[in-house]
Structure 1
Amino acid sequence: MFPVLPSTRTVADRGVPRTHPGVRAGAVVAGAALLASTGCGVLNSELSGEMPTDINVISPMMQEGQPLPSGYTCEAEGEPVSPPLSWSGLPDDVGSIALVVDDPEAALVFWVVTDLDPQLVELRQNTVPADAKIGQNSSGEAAYGAPCPEEDDTHSYRFTVYALNEPLDLPEGAALDLTLENIAAQAVARGSLITNSE
Structure 2
Amino acid sequence: MNDPFARLPEAGTFTVTSTTVTDGGTLGAAQMSGLFGVPGGKDVSPQLSWSGAPEATKSYAVTVYDPDAPTGSGFWHWAVADIPASVTSLPEGAGDDTGSGLPQSAFQLPNDARQPRFLGAAPPAGHGPHCYVIVIHALSTEAIGIPADSTPAVLGFTMASHILARAVLTATAETPA
Query: Please, what TM-score do these two structures have when normalized by structure 2?
Result: 0.80
Secondary structure at 1:177 match in 2:
helix
Consecutive unaligned residues in structure 1, runs of 5 or more: 1-30
Consecutive unaligned residues in structure 2, runs of 5 or more: 95-101
Among candidates 84, 100, 106, match of residue 117 of structure 1: 84
Q: Does 1:134 align with 2:108?
A: yes
Structure 1 residues 82 and 139: CA distance shift in structure 2, 3 A: same
Q: Does 1:173 align with 2:136?
A: no
Structure (1/2) with the larger helix percentage? 1
- 1:1-198 superposed matches below 5 A: 35=4, 38=5, 40-41=6-7, 47=9, 50-53=10-13, 55-74=14-33, 75=38, 77=40, 79-106=42-69, 107-127=74-94, 128-152=102-126, 153-166=128-141, 167-198=143-174
Kept in 2, the 8 Å contact 1:73–1:149? The answer is no
Deviation at 1:81, TM superposition (A): 1.1
User: In the aligned structure 2, how far is the partner of 1:78 from the partner of 1:145?
Assistant: 10
Deviation at 1:97, TM superposition (A): 0.3
Deviation at 1:149, TM superposition (A): 2.7
User: In the aligned structure 1, how far is the partner of 2:41 from the partner of 2:152?
Assistant: 27
Secondary structure at 1:182 match in 2:
helix
User: In the aligned structure 2, how far is the partner of 1:157 from the partner of 1:65?
Assistant: 10
Secondary structure at 2:64 match in 1:
strand
Kept in 1, the 8 Å contact 2:111–2:117? The answer is yes
Deviation at 1:78, TM superposition (A): 6.8
Aligned length: 156
User: In the aligned structure 2, how far is the partner of 1:173 from the partner of 1:121?
Assistant: 25
User: In the aligned structure 2, how far is the partner of 1:158 from the partner of 1:78?
Assistant: 18
Counterpart position of 1:12 = none
User: In the aligned structure 1, how far is the partner of 2:40 from the partner of 2:68?
Assistant: 26
Secondary structure at 1:183 match in 2:
helix
Deviation at 1:142, TM superposition (A): 1.4
| Paired letter, 2:23 | E
User: In the aligned structure 1, how far is the partner of 2:76 from the partner of 2:65?
Assistant: 4
User: What value does the CA root-mean-square deviation take over the aligned residues?
Assistant: 2.0
| Paired letter, 2:82 | D
User: In the aligned structure 1, how far is the partner of 2:40 from the partner of 2:75?
Assistant: 23
Structure 1 residues 66 and 181: CA distance shift in structure 2, 3 A: same
Query: Please, what TM-score do these two structures have when normalized by structure 1?
Result: 0.72
Kept in 2, the 8 Å contact 1:100–1:161? The answer is yes
Counterpart position of 1:16 = none
Kept in 1, the 8 Å contact 2:41–2:120? The answer is no
